[in-house]
């Protein structure tokens, strides 16, 4: 019997061994994979115990303060401009030649002062004639009454005499009114702001003569938003910062009850005492109105932050040292900080590190040092 070669015998042995390995169904017994597959998967309890054994991160340290509270009146600021309390464009009531023009631009006049006098022509003579007719009709009426009383005249003639006197008086009043149309008098005390004619010139009926304005009080007019309207009322005190840097005080005199259709704002007027007429009309001003005082705190601008939802507010620490968030109501913006409402009285507000934590985090609160508070206040003042 022929002998098999060694390499053939070895090949058959490897084939038999491979077939036996495939039959076992285990294919990860090579190298480190075999060792990993043999390890048991840890249970949930084992994993929790393992996590508990790991050291926890130390809570973040934040600086907190409990600021003092005070009553503060909300400031409502709107743009406006000064206007005259009264303004009248004076016009002629008759045509004619200007005979007197005793005023010039800038003159102060009182109510009833003469502004312009037209040439009267024959109008005084018409008045004198009408006066004589009245006197004649009065004498005729007296004679008619005596005759009627004595029975020498019928009652109808007495009625005619009474009617003639009434007609004469009416003609006299018309003549006097026609003469009075030649004069223009000041309707109120004020300043002659513009004179549109010259002495000796001819004017037509209704022609412009002069512009008269009254600046005491001077008005500052602006428009307030519909959300702020409920915070003010007529009679409230108000301030106006003029463009020249001067601050004046007055009273809310008028609040419109109908909004402007385009802007949904309401017109208001603030009356400012101006006895010497030093505040002119047409000057730009910023009106500051004050709402009813409410409880508030003053904090640096850097303390204000945003919540996860994008709301503006501050972060604070509760009794369990957890971070909480409080939305704020911005009442005013002062050089020393923001005046904020809506913050609980016992809130410990984070003034350093508030942007490095989020709501629900456990932190280590420490009282802010006086130096830190002064630094924050100094940074706030420097930004204004």
pLDDT computed for residue 40 by the predictor: 53
Region 34-53: mean pLDDT is 56
pLDDT computed for residue 330 by the predictor: 82
Residues 233 and 187 in one domain: no
SS3 (DSSP) at 13: helix
Torsion sign, CA atoms 167, 168, 169, 171? positive
Does residue 203 form part of some domain?
Answer: yes
Residues 299 and 206 in one domain: no
Confidence of residue 34 (pLDDT cuts 50, 70, 90): very low
pLDDT computed for residue 280 by the predictor: 92
Does residue 243 form part of some domain?
Answer: yes
Residues 101 and 204 in one domain: yes
Based on DSSP, count helices (H) and strands (E) in the chain, helices before strands: 6, 24
Indicate the pairing of strand 329-334 with strand 108-109: unpaired
Residues 178 and 108 in one domain: yes
Does residue 242 form part of some domain?
Answer: yes
Confidence of residue 95 (pLDDT cuts 50, 70, 90): confident
Q: Is 340 exposed, middle or buried (0-12, 13-18, 19+ CB in 10 A)?
A: buried
Residues 119 and 187 in one domain: yes
Region 121-136: mean pLDDT is 83
Region 18-24: mean pLDDT is 64
Given 249, 271, 290, the domain boundary residue is: 290
pLDDT computed for residue 30 by the predictor: 46
Region 5-14: mean pLDDT is 66
Question: What are the Cα distances from residue 207, in Å, to 51, 94, 113?
Answer: 97, 9, 19
Residues 113 and 218 in one domain: no
Residue 42, token pair as written in the block? 């840890």
pLDDT of 384 > 50? The answer is no
Q: How many separate domains does the chain show?
A: 3
- Structural domain boundaries enclosing 314: 61-72+294-383
pLDDT computed for residue 136 by the predictor: 87
Report pTM. 0.59
Does residue 30 form part of some domain?
Answer: no
- Distance in Å from the first CA to the final CA of the chain: 113
Residues 270 and 302 in one domain: no
Region 152-156: mean pLDDT is 72
Given 212, 227, 259, the domain boundary residue is: 212
Higher pLDDT, 266 or 367: 266
Given 162, 197, 212, the domain boundary residue is: 212
Does residue 193 form part of some domain?
Answer: yes
Residue 371 belongs to domain with CATH number: 2.40.420.20
pLDDT in tens, 214-261: 999 999 999 999 888 888 889 999 999 999 899 999 999 999 999 988
Residue 250 belongs to domain with CATH number: 2.40.30.170
Question: How many whole angstroms separate alpha carbon 216 and alpha carbon 195?
Answer: 21
pLDDT computed for residue 82 by the predictor: 94
pLDDT of 58 > 80? The answer is no
Average pLDDT of every residue of the chain: 82
Work out the percent of the chain whose per-residue pLDDT is above 90. 27
Region 173-187: mean pLDDT is 85
Q: To which residue do tokens 């904090």 refer? A: 299
């Amino acid at each position: 019997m022929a002998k098999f070669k060694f390499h053939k015998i070895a090949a058959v042995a490897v084939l038999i061994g491979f077939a036996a390995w495939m039959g076992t169904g285990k294919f990860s017994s090579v190298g480190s994979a075999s060792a990993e597959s043999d390890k048991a998967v840890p249970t949930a309890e084992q994993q929790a115990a393992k996590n508990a054994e790991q050291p926890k991160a130390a809570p973040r340290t934040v600086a907190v303060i409990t600021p003092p509270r005070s009553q503060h009146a909300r400031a409502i600021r709107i743009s406006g401009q000064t206007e005259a309390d009264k303004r009248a464009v004076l016009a002629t009531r008759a045509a004619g030649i200007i005979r007197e023009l005793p005023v010039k631009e800038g003159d102060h006049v009182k109510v009833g002062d003469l502004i312009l006098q037209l040439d009267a022509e024959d109008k005084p003579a018409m008045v004198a004639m009408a006066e004589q007719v009245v006197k004649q009709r009065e004498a005729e009426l007296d004679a008619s009454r005596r005759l009627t009383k004595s029975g020498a005249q019928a009652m109808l003639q007495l009625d005619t005499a009474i009617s003639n006197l009434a007609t004469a008086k009416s003609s006299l009043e018309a003549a006097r009114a026609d003469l009075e149309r030649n004069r223009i008098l000041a309707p109120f005390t004020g300043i002659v702001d513009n004179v549109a004619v010259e002495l000796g010139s001819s004017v037509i009926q209704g022609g412009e003569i002069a512009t008269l304005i009254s600046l005491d009080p001077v008005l500052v007019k602006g428009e307030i938003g519909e959300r702020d309207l409920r915070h003010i009322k007529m009679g409230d005190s108000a301030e106006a910062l003029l463009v020249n840097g001067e601050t004046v005080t007055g009273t809310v005199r008028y609040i419109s009850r109908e909004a402007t259709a385009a802007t949904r704002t309401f017109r208001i007027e603030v009356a400012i005492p101006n006895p010497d007429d030093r505040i002119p009309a047409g000057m730009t001003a910023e009106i500051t109105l004050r709402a009813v005082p409410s409880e508030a705190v003053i904090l640096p601008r850097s303390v204000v932050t945003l919540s996860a939802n994008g709301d503006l507010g501050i972060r604070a620490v509760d009794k369990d040292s957890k971070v909480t968030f409080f939305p704020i109501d911005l009442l005013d913006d002062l050089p020393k900080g923001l005046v904020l409402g809506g913050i609980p009285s016992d809130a410990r507000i984070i003034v350093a590190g508030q942007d490095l934590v989020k709501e629900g985090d456990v932190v280590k609160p420490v009282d802010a040092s006086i130096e830190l508070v002064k630094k924050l206040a100094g940074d706030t003042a420097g930004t204004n």
